[in-house]
Structure 1
Amino acid sequence: MNLMVKAAGWLLAAVVLTGCAASPPRNPENICAIFEQHGSWHKAANKAREKWGAPVHVTMAMMYQESSFKHDARPPMRYFLFIPYGRASDAYGYAQAKKATWGDYQRESGNGWSSRDDFDDAIDFMGWYMSKTSKVNGVSKWDAYGQYLNYHEGWTGYRRGSHHRKGWLLKTSRKVEARAKRYAGQYWQCKDQLNRGWFG
């Protein structure tokens, strides 16, 4: 009987925790609307900025591209003759971080209990990655285009110029750059109110 009670307790806890995951923003094209809906996200983005020097509008534009702000985002399943045979990579979560890279982040940042489907951890990961990109490859943290290319190809791939052979990636990186610029303009209009706690 005790085992049944414990099992029911664990099941209930799992359901509650699953329900705690934040839903994607209703208006992901407007950074002010995103932070108005999810006030804790603004605090987390600001912490990442203070800790790693990663501009809020750049991290958010990159995260939009990676997961559309879905906590459990994964690469699409691959198929052969209608038979699924796995995903392109083990990337997961808000930041679409791979296990190996996430492990590096955990060791270097000291955030060993971090989770890829937690927004605060994911945006801190992105700040860490952008900071390393700046140190390793000399790409400004404000350069959304160059930062996204590094994020997608990895530091070594970027140095080797692997992105030059991927026209689709160059176009996607320009989309991230354009979104970051829009986010920056929007954020300029509302960040004072956000910082004063008028939203959320």
Structure 2
Amino acid sequence: MNPLVQLAAEEAENPLIPPIPELIIGLIAFVIVFGFLWKKLLPNINKVLEERREAIEGGIEKAEAAQTEAQSVLEQYKAQLAEARHEAARLRQEALEQGSALKEELRAEGQRQKEEIVAAGHAQIEADRRAAAQALRQDVGQLATALAGKLVGESLEDHARQSRTIDRFLDELEEKAEAAR
């Protein structure tokens, strides 16, 4: 062959376009590999992706459920805390009221005891005053009798007469003392 013809024949073949038999064989190989991947690999990939999607959705649902439960427990704790604070305030108020009542009771008891002691003191003072008045009456009576006996010059030893004289003298003194007031 002529070199020019051969050159022209080579020019007719484009290096970018493969020969037809190679193109057919490549297409058949592509279809076989694509069919194999479609039948065997794609279902496994879809299955794994579906399992992951379900696991993620289940995890999200579990997390939402756990968050809801945690929120519920938090609300319960807040309610219990508020109730405990209310109960503590009520107990504090009750203790204050009981303390005030006890203080008033003790104050009233102290006042009553003070009044009893003062009354007993007054009664004791009155009894001591009477005893002192009686002792004074007897002493004054004896002194008055002795003095009167010396003045009169006779003995006033008669007990009944002496008592009457003393009583009369003291009654007159008491009347004068009351009139002077």
Asked if TM exceeds 0.5, the reply is no
With normalisation by structure 1, the TM-score equals: 0.19
Q: As a proportion of its length, which structure holds more strand?
A: 1
Structure (1/2) with the larger helix percentage:
2
Larger Rg: 2
TM-score scaled by length of structure 2: 0.21
